C-alpha cells in the first residue's frame, strides 16, 4: 500500500512537470499580454522609453518569445514554483497569486460543494429508479429532462434565468455578486442576502451536471441488476429494497467514486463560466479574467492548482476503491 502510494506520487510529479511545461508554452503564446496593454499608452506618448519597457518585460521573463526565450522564462517560473512562489498577479495590483487563489477559493468551494451535494442526492436515486423501471414512463421522462439539461450551455441557461427571474419577474433583482450593493444589517441579514444571490448560480450548476451523473448511475445499476448474484439474492426471497440498496447500490459505488473523484478540481477551482455570468468573485471568475487580459502568473498558478487537485483526486479515488470494495487490492 505504502509503496503503491509512493509510486503514484512520483508519477504524479512527473505528470505535473509535463503539464506545467505545456501550459506555460500555451499561455505565453496567447495573443494578449497584460504588460503590453498596460504600458502601450505610455509608450505611444513617450512617457516610457522602449528600453525601460524591455527591462520590465525581462524582470518577468517575458522579453523573449522565441522557443529558447520561453524555455528560459519557464525555468524561472518553475524554480520559483517549487519553492512555493507562484508569482505576482499583474491585474490585482501586485498581489501574490497564492493570495488571489486563497481569497477566492473559499467562495467557489462553498458554491460547488452545495451544488455537488444536491447533484448527488438528486441524480443517484433517480438513476437507480430509472434502472429499476427500465423503459417505463418514469425512465423516459427523466431521460428526456436530463438530456434537455445537458444540452443547455451554462452561459445560455444562466442568462435565460437572469432575464426571466431577475429582470422580468424581479424575484432576484438586483442580480450579480454575493450581496446587494448598499445593503446594511447584521450578519443574519447579510448571510440571507448572500444565499438569495446564490440560488440561481447553484441551480444552473446542478441542472447542468445532474443529467450526466444520473445517466451514469442508471447504466451502472443496469449492469449490476443483470449479474448472477442479484438473481440469487432475489431467489433467496430478499425484499426488492434490500436487493437494490444493499447489493446493487454497493456494487455501483466504485464507478461512482471514479466519477466523483474528478469533482475535486471543480470544488476548489470554481465554475468559470457560471461565476462570470453571475459576477461571482470566485477563483473561476478570476482565472477567466486572467486569461482574457494575459495575466500569465495568475493563469499559470490557477491551472497548476487545478492540475494538482486532479492528480490528488485520482489518487484518492484509487485508495477509496479498496474502502468501497474489500476485494479490490492496490498494486505494490
**DSSP calls for 10-79:** HHHHHHHHHHHHHHHHHHHTSS--HHHHHHHHHHHHTSS-HHHHHHHHHHTT-S--SHHHHHHHHHHHHH
* Predicted TM-score of the model (pTM): 0.80
- Rounded distance between C-alpha atoms, residue 197 and residue 173, angstroms: 9
pLDDT in tens, 156-167: 988 998 888 888
- Rounded distance between C-alpha atoms, residue 217 and residue 260, angstroms: 12
Beta bridge partners of 88: 96
Predicted confidence at residue 322, as pLDDT, reads: 62
Helix (H, G, I), strand (E, B) or coil at 142: helix
- Rounded distance between C-alpha atoms, residue 138 and residue 208, angstroms: 20
Q: Is-contact 226 233, C-beta < 8 A?
A: no
Domain ranges of the chain: 2-81, 102-324
Other beta carbons within 10 angstroms of residue 214's beta carbon come to 26
- Rounded distance between C-alpha atoms, residue 302 and residue 23, angstroms: 11
Q: Is-contact 286 128, C-beta < 8 A?
A: no
Task: Find the distance separating the first CA and the last CA of the chain, reported in whole Å.
Answer: 6
Predicted confidence at residue 47, as pLDDT, reads: 79
Beta bridge partners of 96: 88
* Element of type H or E holding 123: helix 97-132
Cis-peptide into 174, omega within 30 deg: yes
- Rounded distance between C-alpha atoms, residue 190 and residue 261, angstroms: 33
Cell representation of residue 100: 488571489
C-alpha distance from residue 312 to each of 180, 305, 320, 324 (Å): 37, 11, 12, 18
Other beta carbons within 10 angstroms of residue 79's beta carbon come to 10
Place of cell 517549487: 82
Cell representation of residue 285: 471568475
pLDDT in tens, 21-47: 999 999 988 888 888 888 887 877 877
Q: Is-contact 156 274, C-beta < 8 A?
A: no
User: Which option is the CATH number for 102-324: 1.10.3720.10, 3.40.50.620, 2.60.120.620, 2.60.40.10?
Assistant: 1.10.3720.10
The count of residues in the chain is: 332
pLDDT in tens, 43-102: 778 778 888 888 888 877 788 888 888 898 899 899 999 998 888 888 887 789 999 999
Please, what are the averages of pLDDT over each run of 10 residues along the chain (332 residues)? 77 91 91 82 80 82 84 90 89 87 89 90 90 90 88 88 86 76 77 87 89 88 86 83 82 74 75 88 89 89 90 77 59 54
88 phi and psi angles, rounded to 5 deg: -115, 130
Cell representation of residue 137: 414512463
Specify the DSSP class assigned to residue 85.
-
Please state the three-class secondary structure of 194-247 as a single string: HHHHHHHHHHHHHHHHHHHHHHHHHHHHHHHHCCHHHHHHHHCCCCHHHHHHHH
Outline where DSSP puts E strands in 82-186: none
Amino acid at each position: 500500500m505504502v509503496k503503491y502510494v509512493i509510486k503514484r506520487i512520483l508519477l504524479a510529479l512527473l505528470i505535473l512537470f509535463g503539464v506545467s511545461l505545456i501550459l506555460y508554452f500555451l499561455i505565453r503564446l496567447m495573443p494578449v499580454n497584460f504588460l503590453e496593454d498596460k504600458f502601450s499608452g505610455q509608450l505611444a506618448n513617450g512617457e516610457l522609453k522602449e528600453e525601460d519597457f524591455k527591462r520590465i518585460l525581462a524582470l518577468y521573463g517575458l522579453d523573449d518569445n522565441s522557443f529558447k526565450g520561453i524555455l528560459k522564462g519557464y525555468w524561472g517560473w518553475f524554480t520559483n514554483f517549487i519553492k512555493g512562489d507562484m508569482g505576482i498577479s499583474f491585474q490585482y495590483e501586485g498581489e501574490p497569486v497564492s493570495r488571489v487563489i486563497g481569497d477566492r477559493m473559499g467562495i467557489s468551494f462553498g458554491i460547488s460543494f452545495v451544488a455537488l451535494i444536491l447533484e448527488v442526492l438528486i441524480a443517484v436515486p433517480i438513476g437507480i429508479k430509472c434502472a429499476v423501471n427500465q423503459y417505463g414512463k418514469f425512465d423516459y421522462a427523466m431521460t428526456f429532462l436530463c438530456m434537455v439539461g445537458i444540452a443547455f450551455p451554462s452561459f445560455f441557461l444562466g442568462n435565460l434565468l437572469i432575464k426571466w427571474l431577475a429582470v422580468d419577474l424581479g424575484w432576484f433583482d438586483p442580480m450579480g455578486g454575493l450581496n446587494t450593493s448598499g445593503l446594511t444589517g447584521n450578519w443574519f441579514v447579510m448571510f440571507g442576502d448572500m444565499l438569495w444571490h446564490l440560488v440561481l448560480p447553484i441551480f444552473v450548476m446542478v441542472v447542468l451536471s445532474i443529467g450526466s451523473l444520473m445517466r451514469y448511475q442508471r447504466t451502472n445499476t443496469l449492469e449490476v441488476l443483470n449479474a448472477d448474484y442479484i438473481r440469487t439474492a432475489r431467489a433467496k426471497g430478499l425484499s426488492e429494497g434490500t436487493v437494490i440498496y444493499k447489493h446493487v447500490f454497493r456494487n455501483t459505488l466504485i464507478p461512482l467514486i471514479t466519477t466523483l473523484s474528478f469533482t475535486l478540481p471543480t470544488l476548489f477551482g470554481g465554475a468559470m463560466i457560471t461565476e462570470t455570468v453571475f459576477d461571482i468573485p470566485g477563483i473561476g471568475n478570476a482565472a477567466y479574467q486572467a486569461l482574457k487580459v494575459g495575466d500569465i502568473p495568475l493563469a499559470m498558478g490557477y491551472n497548476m492548482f487545478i492540475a494538482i487537485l486532479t492528480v490528488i483526486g485520482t489518487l484518492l479515488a484509487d485508495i477509496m476503491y479498496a474502502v468501497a470494495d474489500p476485494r479490490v487490492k492496490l498494486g505494490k
